[in-house]
Amino acid sequence: DQQVKQNSPSLSVQEGRISILNCDYTNSMFDYFLWYKKYPAEGPTFLISISSIKDKNEDGRFTVFLNKSAKHLSLHIVPSQPGDSAVYFCAASAIGWGKLQFGAGTQVVVTP
Amino acid sequence: KAGVTQTPRYLIKTRGQQVTLSCSPISGHRSVSWYQQTPGQGLQFLFEYFSETQRNKGNFPGRFSGRQFSNSRSEMNVSTLELGDSALYLCASSLAGTSVETQYFGPGTRLLVL
C-alpha cells in the first residue's frame, strides 16, 4: 500500500523561480521525513529532513514544511537552478521501523 | 569521510543464476539497509542489518537474503534469478538505524537479468 504519495510525477520550473514539491502520507506513526534527490544511475542524495516535532526546516535554498494535521509535507527550492533537475523522493520513517518508506518521486526540470 | 560504496556497479546474469552484491557503509555506521528500485515499483525496502543481525525485512521472497559482517559490511544475495529481478539495488547506511537518523545511499548496483 502507498503510505507515502507524491501525486505530481513531474514539475517544470524556470530558472530562478521557486520549485514546490508536495508529499502526502497516510501513516500517523511516521515521525521523521526526508527528501532525497536522485540523478539517473546514481543513488539518492540526502537533501533535507524534518522531525515530526517541527513544522519547518531550512538549509540554504531548501526548506521543508510539515503539516501534521493534514499529513502533508512540501519541499521548496528557491531559487531553482539548472543543476536541480533530477528526481526528488519524499521518504518517511517511524520509531522501530529501521527503514524508509518512499514516494514514487517527482521529476523536476529547471529550464533556462 | 568516504561514502557508501557498492560493488559491482553493473552486472548481467541469466535466469536461474544467483548473484551476490556487496556494500561497505560509511565508517562508523552500523546499520545497513537494502532497497530495490524498479520503474514500476519505485524504491522498495528489502531488509536492514545492524550488528550482524537482520532487524527488519520487507515483502520480498526468500530468494532475497543478506548478511552483515563484524566490520558492518553487508552482502545481499539473490538466488534463482528471474527477469523481474532486473533493477537498481541500493544500499544505505546510518549510525544505528533509528527512525530519526538519515540514511545515506551508495551509487547502487545495476542488475540486468536476461
Contact B48 A98 (CB under 8 A): yes
Q: Is pLDDT above 90 for B100?
A: no
What DSSP letter does each residue of B45-113 carry, written as one string?
A: EEEEEETTEEEEE-S--TTEEEEE-TTS-EEEEE-S--GGG-EEEEEEEESS--TTS--EE---EEEEE
For B60-91, how does the pLDDT look when each residue is reduced to its tens digit (9 = 90+)? 999 999 999 999 999 999 999 999 999 999 99
Contact A98 B102 (CB under 8 A): no
Check residue A75 and give its pLDDT. Answer: 98
By Cβ distance, the residue of B97, B102, B110 closest to A34 is: B102
Check residue A94 and give its pLDDT. Answer: 85
Instruction: Name the stretches of chain A with pLDDT < 50.
Output: none
Check residue A99 and give its pLDDT. Answer: 86
For B47-57, how does the pLDDT look when each residue is reduced to its tens digit (9 = 90+)? 999 999 999 89
Contact list, B10 vs chain A (CB under 8 Å):
none
Flag whether residue A104 sits within 8 Å of chain B, measured between CB atoms: yes
By Cβ distance, the residue of B35, B97, B108 closest to A98 is: B97
Biggest CA pair distance of chain A: 44
Check residue B50 and give its pLDDT. Answer: 92
